[in-house]
Amino acid sequence: MGKRIGRSGFTLVELVTIIVILGIMAAIAVPRFFSRNTFDSRSFYDQAISTLRYAQKAAIAQHRFVCVAFTANSVTLTTGATAACGTNLTGPTGQSPYSVSSSNASFTATPAAFNFDALGKPSFATAPSITVSGYTTNPIIVEAETGYVH
């Protein structure tokens, strides 16, 4: 009786199929790992919304004006008894003045400064369009009548 030689391994079709699948996955997934701009833009967008919500809630809780000032890549909050707002607003973690900024993301256009009054209503007549570059699909909206930020 002779030894039976078993064949093991992959066929050429199986190898080519695996290489094609890996190539497609690499073409889709790899750019997402090397480009942080999308992640940084979304992070700054979320931080800006949270800061504006905090400003409105602080104005209501403290029964004072809270001013919101913008630069190209930051939001800073101050407070005061009048709309002039001369005192730094302390953040929830003790940060004074309370501000958020990003070195890799910015606003598409620098928004105009405004304030929330003691009832949480913003001082502008028409709501500004606040968009973050790289994440322009959802602008930040502050409702003119209620101050609701979304």
pLDDT tens-digit readout, 42-74: 899 999 999 999 999 999 999 999 999 999 999
Q: Looking at residue 4, what is its pLDDT? A: 63
Residue 77 CB-density burial (10 A; 0-12 exposed, 13-18 middle, 19+ buried): buried
Predicted model pTM: 0.77
Q: Looking at residue 49, what is its pLDDT? A: 95
* Residues contacting 136, CB < 8 A, separation 6+: 108
Q: Looking at residue 121, what is its pLDDT? A: 94
Structure tokens at 70: 């913008």
CA 10, chain centre distance (Å): 47
CA–CA gap between residue 122 and residue 100 (Å, rounded): 20
98 bridge partner residues? 77
Position 3 confidence tier, pLDDT thresholds 50, 70, 90: low
Position 122 confidence tier, pLDDT thresholds 50, 70, 90: very high
